[in-house]
Amino acid sequence: MTPVLLDCDPGHDDAVALLYAVRHMDLRAITTVYGNQTLEHTTRNALSLCRLAQLDTPVAAGASRPLVAPHITGGAVHGKTGLDGAELPEPDRAPLDMHAVELILRTAREHRGELVLAATGALTNVALALALEPKLKEWLRGITIMGGGTGTGNVTEVAEFNIYCDPEAAEMVLRAGVPTWLVGLDVTRRVGVSAADIATLRVGGKLANTMADLLDFFRASLERVQGVATASLHDPCALVPFIDPSLMEYRHTNVRVELAPGIARGMTVAELRRLGNVPLGHMRGSAPANVYLAREPSPKLVGHILQAILDVDAKLN
Ligand code: RIB
Ligand code: CA
């Protein structure tokens, strides 16, 4: 199975991504970043989830704020802890006594050419790691990101939360030259779970029922805050290329981040102009492809993700 490091801001959908990685990949390390809540909360949540899922995966805390942008948090949706809605176990260990960037570099060095870095929060840790050690570009097999999108945003009219938290970091990562996969809101909003979908987890044990409690909270929050009836499983979508590529269609194209202050700051601008087979090189502003951009999720993806939670649950004593 593909070795993966998950850089995340748990976060309800990050918790699902973690279990999806446990079920289908070789989860080598977890690093945390501010975002859905403060770094203290997201790190505590990661450690609680590890205890709940009986994981001894190393966890290291990373950036507590963006490179340049003002600090925002997603508490409105994820609650005051960042993972409200269920009784979670107290962490039974501390994070490693090293920064997330060090753990990213150590893990990538140990798995040269094989490690996938999955980023489901702000990209600050990933940008810092790439800036600190340029060799990281060769050590990584790829970077796969949940962020951005080609439709409406969820922070502003056009900006998605993970990118908007740290647009400069996101642009640094997209420019780094590492094979990169990107799944945005236009796709992840179509990978949602209804109350009935969530209820299917209730056949499991403690882990599955805790995840059902978390997803019920997440879904109710999204209904209250954004008026949507399903809870989008944003973050596990980032892992699909390395679990089952048949579950998502991608297009190799150029994506850049708007950094200028103003109404479009944090927007991901994708080259989606298609004039038949006419090469776009002559089009104004066209730039070389730098990401595999998710375009179409399979209708099987929701079921595949929920089954992964039940599978991990079934393995616990
Ligand atoms: O916009 C959705 C993203 O922001 C997800 O990663 C969610 O967990 C939050 O971090
Ligand atoms: Ca997240």
State the pLDDT at residue 114.
98
Mean pLDDT of 232-246: 98
Cα separation, 38 vs 167, whole angstroms: 18
Cα distances (angstroms) measured from residue 228 to each of 36, 99, 192, 195, 218: 19, 37, 10, 12, 11
Helix axes 206-226, 301-315, angle to 10 degrees: 140
275-302 pLDDT, tens digit per residue, is 666 666 666 667 889 999 999 999 999 9
117-142 pLDDT, tens digit per residue, is 999 999 999 999 999 999 999 999 99
Mean pLDDT of the chain: 95
Ordered by where they begin, the domains of the chain are 3-316 (3.90.245.10)
pTM over the 0.85 mark: yes
Q: Is the pLDDT of residue 97 over 90?
A: yes
How far does the centroid of ligand 1 lie from the alpha carbon of residue 89, in Å?
23
Mean pLDDT of 57-70: 96
Active site residue 12: no
- Which of 12, 24, 99, 234 is the catalytic position? 234
How far does the centroid of ligand 1 lie from the alpha carbon of residue 220, in Å?
16
